Amino acid sequence: MLGLGKGRISILSQLHEQGHFAIIFGHCLSSNSKDYGFMFIGEDFDYPRCLTWLLTEVIYGNHEQSLLGRNQPFVLDSGATYTHFLDPLYQQLLTKIAEMPLQKVPGDDVYPDCWEDTRPFTSISDLRNLFSSLYLKSGNGQGLEIPPENYLIIMEDGDVCLAILNGFAHGMNNFNLIGAISMQNVMVVYDNEQQQIGWAPVIGCTQPLNCPP
C-alpha cells in the first residue's frame, strides 16, 4: 500500500518536503486486462493545458436537453469499484435509459437495475449501439466522457446492468462518487498544489498523455 494523501505521513508529502516532487500524482486505469495502466508522481509535463478541470453538469448523450443535473458535487475515488449517483440524478438517469426499447428485468443485490434486449448482449459494440455516453461537463464546456462500457456491465446471461449505483442506498448523502469503472482509459491528475482534479482521455492507458502544443 502506497499512501498518496495530503497528510504529512504520505510518501508524496515526504518526497515533497525533501524537495523531490510537487504534491501531484495521477493514474490511468486500462480497460484491457492485459494492460495495467500507469501512475506517476510529480509534474513532468504541462498538464494544466491538457486537462479538463472542475465538474459542474451531467449530461446524457451530450445534448443540452438531456441535462440530468447542474452544480453536482463529485468525488473521484479510484479505490472504489463502482460509481454512485445521488437522487434525483440517479433516478433521472434511470428515466433516460427507460426511454429505450429495452425490457427491464430483475437484478441482484449488487446490480439492481438491469435490462434485456431481443438478443443477449455480448460485446461493447452492443452497448454503444443502444446506450449513450454520459458527459460530466465543466464550466468551460469541456467534458469527461463516460462511455456505456464505463457505466454498464454485461452479465453472464446476456442482460446488461447499470454499474452506477444508488448513492443513498449505500450510505452516501452529500456527494456523487466516480469509481474506478468510470475512470477506465482516462488519465486523472490529483493536484494538491492547486487543490484541483483534472482528467483527459488516454486510449489504452499504455503511456502518459501526449499534450498537443
- Can you list the alpha helix ranges (DSSP code H) found in the chain? 11-17, 47-50, 89-98, 124-130
Q: Cα separation of 109 and 62, whole Å?
A: 31
List residues bridging with 188 in a β-sheet: 27, 199
Mean pLDDT of all residues belonging to the chain? 81
With residue 33 as reference, give the H or E element that holds it. Answer: none
Which grid coordinates belong to 168? 443513498
17 pLDDT higher than 60: yes
The pLDDT, as a whole number, for residue 80 is 87
Sign of CA pseudo-dihedral 80, 102, 107, 30: negative
Contact present, 48 and 38 (Cβ < 8 Å):
no
Q: Cα separation of 189 and 53, whole Å?
A: 10
- pLDDT category of residue 32 using cuts at 50, 70 and 90: confident
pLDDT: is 5 or 26 the higher one?
26
The pLDDT, as a whole number, for residue 210 is 62
pLDDT: is 171 or 195 the higher one?
171
pLDDT in tens, 145-161: 899 999 999 999 999 99
Q: What is the pTM of this model?
A: 0.77
Cβ neighbours around 50 below 10 Å, total? 18
Q: What is the mean pLDDT of residues 186-194?
A: 81
2 pLDDT higher than 60: no
